[in-house]
Amino acid sequence: MLRRIWNRAEFAASSAWQNFWRNATVSVAGLLIVWVVLLALGSLLLGLHSLDEVVNVEKSRASVISIFLADSTPLSSAMDFKAHLERDPRVSAVTFVTKDQAMEKFRQMPALSPEVVESLGTNPLPASLDVTVHDIRDLAAIDKEVRASPLVDKSPATNYEPSVIDKIILLARVAGIAGLVLIIALTALSIFIIMLTIRTAIYLRRKEIEVMKLVGATDWFVRWPFILEGIMTGGAGAILAVAIVGFGYRPAVQNLQSVLIFVPFFYDPNFLRVVLAAMLAFGMFLGVFGSYLGVRRFLHQ
Amino acid sequence: MVSTMVSDATPLITFQNVSKTYPNGTEALREVSLDVPRQDFVFLVGPSGAGKSTLVRLLIREERATTGKIFVDGQELGRLKRRQLPHLRRKIGIVFQDFKLLPNLTVFQNVGFAVRVTDGELRHLKPKVEEVLSIVGLDGKEKKFPDELSGGEQQRVAIARALVHDPKIFLADEPTGNLDPATSWEILQLLLQINARGTTVLMATHNREIVDVMRRRVIAIESGRIARDEDAGGYHAQANLESR
């Protein structure tokens, strides 16, 4: 029994290996297209995941609104205003930030060189009340109310910027749809090319297949070498893509972090592992499905 | 597979009113009925396109009969499922005019191929291959490649390959079509020897001389019908012969 299984496996593997090299051009084309699909898939998944995390961070940031106070506002009025806001049921916390504290925060922004800060001379930053709300959907109403107060600075009155999150979500959605369309197109193309690879291999082996059928080989015995060839092609493309994404993800994130300093990009090794596994599985699937299609029509006379 | 008990008296091959019409409308066989008993030796003669090859294809169920029934060793071919076909084909050894050897395999590998791809008993592969090669008289040529052999030797390799599953039926479709007369006779001797070992042999042929000398059963097919079926017959009908 073992010997029989070994015979089958050895026959399928050596035939598949021969097939792959006998029409190397088409095989390599199949491998490359799988590679490209998986690179696209991997990058898209990681990219969307990063955007998703950015959205989450921005959402938690967005539940805080800074109300900038006019420089002329006396401290007591500011404290009254703070108490007034704290009584509001929609508000969970209010922090008073003085002009000096604002300046201190500003100084710590990594993108600014100290010279720029020094050149400002007097402190242009306003004091603020940082209001945290329970539900970010109340922000717009609070923003509108506080703008009416005479204590509030007019340029600008608050840092309320409703469109930022929406823009990120929109970006994620557009990138997701565009990526998905691209991947679907590339997937179809790669299945087609693998099918072509297998058809070519079958054509080159037509004499052998004819003999196999005549002497009574089963359909699956005839099919296995070609299915295996598909798995090999898909698997090799997948391994190349997995290596590139696996080793390239961390440097890519670090690069982005240094370019887009205000955007909170993270390196997420757990998600990376999921993505790599998905890429490998998808590569195998492309190989199996393409070769199945290639084998199906020809052998079913 | 469950094989139905078949007594030696039932024919090994039976055609009952078999017609075959191809999708393009060609009527290759019309209402053909015939019986081939076990261990028979039959020549199948007739002009090209008369339906001999269709008959061979129906027997290995490369094609299905359009109407009528075909029985091989008690099994009705029309009822066989696709996955049962390999088992049918292992009961039938077949050789062709063009040998169908694999050029990149040696003689030994060509014959062993039939064992390997059918999940045959690998422990017996070597002795079995050696046995059939010695039956066809090719001992010592195991390591040759097909293009190093003469046409007759190549056909012997094909015959050895067809014998490796100990078939009940041996089909030869124009086996001497590419061979010179002397070699053709050698191949025929080999087929007789195979028949003498108990295998039923069906040989489709254009070789008039062989058929006329052998005086075996002859089934003549013309335009898809059985024109003649006689024991100890000649290539042409008796009346034809006398008029010449």
pLDDT of residue A111: 56
Interval A218-228: pLDDT, tens: 988 898 899 99
Share of chain B above pLDDT 90, in %: 75
Interface of chain B against chain A, CB under 8 Å?
60, 62, 82-83, 85-90, 94, 100, 102, 113-114, 116-119, 122-123, 161-162, 164-165
pLDDT for B122:
79
pLDDT digits (tens, 9 = 90+) for A238-255: 999 999 998 988 888 888
Q: At A106, list the tokens.
A: 């500003």
Picking from A3, A214, A220, A221 by the largest number of B CB atoms within 10 A of its own CB, the best residue to mutate is A214
* pLDDT of the residue at B127: 92
**pLDDT tens digits, one per residue of B95-145:** 999 999 999 999 999 999 999 888 777 788 899 999 999 999 999 999 999
**CA distance to partner chain A, nearest, from residue B89 (Å):** 5
Whether residue A164 has pLDDT greater than 60: yes
pLDDT band at B148; cut points 50, 70, 90? very high
Partnered with residue B16 across adjacent β-strands are B69
Task: Please check the confidence at residue A54 and state whether its pLDDT lies above 60.
Answer: yes
| pLDDT confidence tier of residue B8, bands split at 50, 70 and 90 | low
Question: Which comes out higher in pLDDT, residue A47 or B77?
Answer: B77
Distance (Å, whole) CA B242 – CA B9 = 36
Q: Contacts of residue A222 in chain B, CB cutoff 8 Å?
A: 117
Is the model's pLDDT at B1 over the cut of 50? no
Interface test mutation site (partner B, options A3, A210, A215, A299, max chain B beta carbons within 10 A): A215
Give the residue with greater pLDDT, A270 vs B202.
Answer: B202
> What is the predicted pLDDT for the residue at A296?
82
Q: Which pLDDT score, from 0 to 100, does residue A128 have?
A: 82
Q: Higher-confidence residue: B75 or B244?
A: B75
Contact A3 B122 (CB under 8 A): yes
Contact: B86, A4; criterion CB under 8 Å:
no
Task: Provide mean pLDDT across the span B31-44.
Answer: 94
- pLDDT tens, B170-179? 999 999 998 9
How does pLDDT run across B195-213, given as a tens digit for each residue?
999 999 999 998 889 999 9
Give the end-to-end CA distance of chain A in Å, rounded to a whole number. 31
Q: A19-28: long-range contacts at Cβ-Cβ below 8 A with a sequence spacing of 24 or more?
A: A19/A201, A19/A204, A19/A205, A19/A225, A19/A226, A19/A229, A20/A229, A20/A232, A20/A233, A22/A201, A22/A204, A23/A197, A23/A200, A23/A201, A23/A204, A26/A193, A26/A196, A26/A197, A26/A200, A27/A197, A27/A229, A27/A233
pLDDT the model gives residue B160? 96
How close, in Å, is residue B97 to chain A by CA atoms?
Answer: 14
CA angle A12, A15, A21 (to 5 degrees): 140
